[in-house]
Structure 1
Amino acid sequence: MKRISRAGVLAGALAFVMLGSGASAAAPSSPRGEGGDEVITVEEFFTPGPETVVKLNADYAGPTLPGIKAAFRDTLVPTVKNVKYQGQQCGTTLIQQTSGRGKTTLVMTVEKSVAATTKKEASIDLKFISAGMGWDVTKTYTVKNETRYEVPAGKFGTVQAYPLFEQYQGTAFDRFGTPLGNVYAYKPVGVCFNQHLK
């Protein structure tokens, strides 16, 4: 059975909500996003395993890649080129959890604001990374979905929710066209539900 541990402790108290015979807990973090929503920041990732159910947001429209205009950008500023979509990864920051003893059905509905994440091998401003990626890497995005997990009699079930990201890689260039190194951007697009029994 694959276990995923939390990468960091989220600030704030746990809020508990009863769902059927299970309990759901969401750990809030700061700062707050638009409209007062709490923003989850993720720094590490894992590849979904056999106990992970991956669900994209309902309004997901596919990978976001820069348009043809990106090839004709002003060359007197730093740029990010050769952007490639590299698939999906789950973040390791736990954003919600529910558990209960069977026989029961664990129901979890997730709607959280999650910050986009970047990693850089080069010194380049985030606004240039956004321009190269074709989407704003400084924004927060809402991840939203739900799951149901049947727990048989005599078993204890747990469902843990983590944000799902699309990963992009590009090459940063200085204003003279000299390559500086790779940059990576991770866009929140859904929820990874880890489901397991004891």
Structure 2
Amino acid sequence: MLKATQATLLAGVIAAGTLGTAVPANAGPHVAAKPVTATASRPIHPYKYKHVKYIGKKCGKKLASEARGRGPITLTLTHSASVSNTYSATIGVDIEGISAAVGFDVTKTHTKMMSGAYVVPRGKYGKLKAYPLYSMKSFDTYLKMGGYLGKGKAYKVIGFCYTHSAK
């Protein structure tokens, strides 16, 4: 549960990027307050990430490449494609914090080589499609001052999935 002072402090971080001044809790009256400010080189991130765990692999939905043809033919995909890591979360989050927690840059784009083949039977029209293959991690987001905010997932590109069909 957030106390009123924590909520006000958080609002100051999000809205203005400045906390104002800070004095240690156990400091006497002779200790001067120090200004605390967010800068481009030292942003203030009010979140922390816990319970990071691997949850499996998943084929993406964005088509990376496709080959089509009438059989008899061998469809082959040999292609270089740029695909990006990504993330999803139930709340607004800081990308650097998520990247540090899951162990990879969630915004990085990779160029991957792929090669796959499918033999289309005589008289059929075949398709061979490639999609990004992701390794997934889940995480929980908390305020550094306390309080659960929501869940998220991070997806790292590790290769490609292939699907084929013939009609």
TM-score (norm 2): 0.69
- One of 111, 116, 134 as aligned partner of 2:103: 134
Which portions of structure 1, spanning 4 or more consecutive aligned residues, are displaced by more than 6 angstroms? none
Point out the structure with the larger helix share: 2
Distance 1:98 1:185 in 2: 30
Percent identity between matched residues is: 38
> Which residues of structure 1 form unaligned runs of 5+?
1-75
More strand by share: 2
Name the residue aligned to 1:64: none
Q: Is the 8 A contact 1:106 1:150 kept in 2?
A: yes
Deviations 1:136-186 (A, max 9, x none): 112112333211111121111110111111111001111113221111111
Q: Indicate if the aligned counterparts of 1:116 and 1:186 stay in contact, CA closer than 8 A.
A: yes
Q: Figure out how many residues of one structure are paired with residues of the other and give that number.
A: 123
For residue 99 of structure 2, give the secondary structure of its aligned residue in structure 1. helix
2:59 is aligned with 1:90: yes
> Hey, what's the Cα distance between the residues in 2 that align with 1:142 and 1:186?
16
Residue matched to 1:159: 128
Match of 1:110 in 2: 79
Gaps of 5+ in 2: 1-44
1:158-197 maps to which residues of 2 (within 5 A)?
A: 158-197=127-166
Larger radius of gyration: 2
Question: How much does 1:119 deviate?
Answer: 0.7
CA drift at 1:77 = 4.8
User: Which secondary structure does the structure 2 equivalent of 1:86 belong to?
Assistant: strand
Whether the aligned pair in 2 keeps the contact of 1:142 and 1:188 (CA below 8 Å) is no
